[in-house]
Structure 1
Amino acid sequence: MFLMVGLMKAVSERLQQQQQQQLPAAEKKPRFRPPLPVKTVVLLAAACFFLGLLLSSVISSLVASENRAGIACDSKDCDRKRRLEEAKTGDVMDQVSRTHQVIQALDKSVSKLEMELAVGRMRLNGGRGGGGGGGGGSYNKQLKKAFVVVGINTAFSSQKRREAVRATWMPTGAKLKRLEEEKGVVVRFVIGHSATSGGAVDRAIDEEDAETKDFLRLDHLEGYHKLSAKTRAFFSTAVAIWDADFFVKVDDDVHLNLGMLVATLAQYRNKPRVYIGCMKSGPVLYQKDVKYHEPEFWKFGEEGNKYFRHATGQIYAISKDLASYISINAPILHKYANEDVSLGSWLIGLEVKHIDERRMCCGTPPGKVTRNRVGSFRKTPPENFDLMGLMVDCEWKAESGNFCIASFDWPCSGVCKPVERMKEVHGTCGEAAEAIWNVAL
């Protein structure tokens, strides 16, 4: 309202000034001015009213634009702040992840140092630090350096098997000693003692060892159902004598190519906690009247379940740190009925690298009829080719220059009739005699 009055007053004064300018100078005398006509006033009032509305609308539009611009700016600021917060959160999470990795690495380093310390104490104590089957005080001496210790599991009744092994893939006499000194490859038949220590069977082993010097005696009571304890005793005894990179267990009815074994192990020399073998996961046998019955089958879940992955028992290799772990913790390591399952259970909960090496479980050459039938299919069967339940035999690999590490027959859990056939298998699947000496370590 005040705005309209002011505008009317300004318009009236402007009209008076124009009229005065139109009069001659002489006639410029003060006089009474009649009021503006009502019609003019009404028109001016209406004009002022509409002018006010126009100005009000313009001002409102400007204010709204400024508000929207402010809101838009605030939105951009919020978005930028949100991105900054997200970036900060991402940086924090990344830092937490890196810190967690560092903590894990430190934890592994501490665990490794603790294990090395325990091994050192055990060795100072003559190999008895872990208890339960160590080597005893006679091993309280400086450790011998070696690359691998191969323990051949044997029994009192297996003299002919041992003779078959010595006549084929195992060096003897001066060659055995040279192999140990030049290549760091130690090969020993592993055996414990009888129930009547010092009896006839023990004396027979003593006499054989005096002649061949290729035995490792364990503080262990021999027995087929005590293979888990024997395996544990072997590792505990061996780590107390040799400072070796690897420890291998192999049965005395298995054919072994030492050169291929050493060359394969050399690939994992600088890797910690390595477990190498022909990995399998067989069924848990709960029936009491079957071979390899598992009395503790209920621990593996429902009937028909399978074992966890583990190396087949004919041959396997573990690195030094795992052998030391077994030696240190021997008293609390549970023994299952089957020694390969026991070893797998000791390692399943550790940070262990499982190496599935199929060349450790080749089949021996099949019979003549079967061989001819295989040849009718193709000259060289593919990898892991199965025929009538038989694996591809080591002969095919030998012909291609890719020798197997170990060969045996699954139905016999070793070379069938090893005393009669070991020489045949060696002639067909064995590597050259100089192969072991040509391996670079």
Structure 2
Amino acid sequence: MARAWRQSKNRIVKNIFCFGCLFILPLFVLAVVVYSKSKNAETPSVTDEVSSQNIIESTQKSFYLIVLIFSDPTKSATRKAIRETWLSTSHQNMKHMFVVGSKGLAEDVLNNVLKENSSHHDMLILDSVNESYISLTTKVKKGFQWLHSNYHFSFLLKCDDDSFVRISPLLEELKKQPQNYLYWGFFKGGSSVFQKGKWKESEWFLCDTYLPYALGGGYILSSDLVEFIAKNGPLLQQYKSEDVSVGVWLSPLKIHRVHDVRFDTEFKSRGCYNEYLITHKQSANDMRVKHDSLLKTGKLCPSELRVRYSYNYNWTVLPSKCCKDFNPDLP
């Protein structure tokens, strides 16, 4: 009798305990979720941070051209010069963003970047990217992926913060180009693969020269090609040079590769010609001089100057022979 009573008591206690678990466990999980959300609200992440204004635009408006200017977090003076020169005039259906990496930044540098963005609302801050040369390809790919996920656009201009861009004539010329599958810039091919130094490509195995690619001082991609890179990012082999990498990623595709001598985007400027749409390797002072010249005379250059010869890319021959015909008549 006593044993039966003890067994019955144990069953009652066990049932009460199980019922309590079923009731309390969901409450515990809910409490953890609510706490986690409250903690995130208290300490917002800087992951791929943009201003709320940019987020609103991304859901409400499409752009014909988005300009991603890849910049160093410490170069606020350079960004100021760009805003005051070639970005000083607004253009309908165009938007720009400065892309910086914030992983491992000193607290004061990061705070300055966040303050700058709160004032200008034009920065994309990638917290998963270190700001270094070896991370540049990752930075470009993640910038493309973020852009594809957050904006509707027709074309992307990728350029550096030492490039000067004539936006108005660039937009006019862009409308004359193929509106799909476009890869537009100053192309290079047949260059020997770097075997040493900071440009050493230890992962390169494709051939003994680089594949054709548009130089990274400035090139334009249509949105369908940005989408291709963004969606296939995990499978794409990355190389030290971001422009080389983009050329390789797009190499098997049937697209419009347009070589244009008006893109002065090599490692060193070829000089100054009024026909140039983009000019690379420009200091903040160079930008102000060119901007003032455009305002006063309508011409990019106070006086035209040649430093290096240019060429038309020969698409009918192998890359090793593509770029040998230097022409003194080209800008």
Normalising to structure 1: TM-score of the pair? 0.51
Shift of residue 287, structure 1, vs aligned partner: 3.4
Asked whether the equivalents of residues 143 and 240 of structure 1 are also in contact (C-alpha less than 8 Å), the reply is no
Mark the CA change 1:427 to 1:281 in structure 2 (over 3 Å): closer, same or farther.
Answer: farther
Provide the C-alpha distance between the structure 2 equivalents of 1:210 and 1:319, rounded to a whole number of angstroms. Answer: 30
Shift of residue 205, structure 1, vs aligned partner: 0.6
Asked whether the equivalents of residues 153 and 251 of structure 1 are also in contact (C-alpha less than 8 Å), the reply is yes
Residues 1:424 and 2:331 are matched in the alignment:
no
Residues 1:145 and 2:62 are matched in the alignment:
yes
Asked whether the equivalents of residues 78 and 161 of structure 2 are also in contact (C-alpha less than 8 Å), the reply is yes
**Structure number with higher strand proportion:** 2
- 2:180 maps to what in 1? 272
**Structure number with higher helix proportion:** 1
The one-letter amino acid paired with 1:281 is G
Bigger CA radius of gyration: 1
Mark the CA change 1:272 to 1:153 in structure 2 (over 3 Å): closer, same or farther.
Answer: same
Q: Deviations over 1:259-311 (max 9, x none)?
A: 12111211235x3211111011152343323x5322234x143xxx3211110
Shift of residue 201, structure 1, vs aligned partner: 1.7
Residues 1:235 and 2:138 are matched in the alignment:
no
Provide the C-alpha distance between the structure 2 equivalents of 1:356 and 1:283, rounded to a whole number of angstroms. Answer: 16
Tell me which of 195, 206, 226 is aligned to 2:135: 226
- 2:75 maps to what in 1? 158
Provide the C-alpha distance between the structure 2 equivalents of 1:242 and 1:195, rounded to a whole number of angstroms. Answer: 27
Tell me which of 250, 272, 278 is aligned to 1:406: 278
Mark the CA change 1:360 to 1:423 in structure 2 (over 3 Å): closer, same or farther.
Answer: same
Question: What count of residue pairs does the alignment treat as equivalent?
Answer: 248
Mark the CA change 1:258 to 1:288 in structure 2 (over 3 Å): closer, same or farther.
Answer: same
Shift of residue 324, structure 1, vs aligned partner: 0.9
Tell me which of 167, 174, 185 is aligned to 2:84: 167
Residues 1:337 and 2:209 are matched in the alignment:
no
Tell me which of 99, 110, 119 is aligned to 1:190: 99
Provide the C-alpha distance between the structure 1 equivalents of 2:253 and 2:297, rounded to a whole number of angstroms. Answer: 38
| Structural mapping, 1:4-403, within 5 Å | 142=59, 144-171=61-88, 176=90, 179=91, 183-195=92-104, 199-221=107-129, 222-268=131-177, 271-289=179-197, 291-297=198-204, 299-301=205-207, 305-361=208-264, 391=270, 393-395=271-273, 398=274, 403=275
The one-letter amino acid paired with 1:339 is E
| Runs of 5+ unmatched residues, structure 2 | 1-46, 299-331
Shift of residue 134, structure 1, vs aligned partner: 7.7
Asked whether the equivalents of residues 201 and 240 of structure 2 are also in contact (C-alpha less than 8 Å), the reply is yes
| Runs of 5+ unmatched residues, structure 1 | 1-132, 364-388, 409-413, 434-441
What's the Cα RMSD here?
3.0
Provide the C-alpha distance between the structure 2 equivalents of 1:326 and 1:256, rounded to a whole number of angstroms. Answer: 24
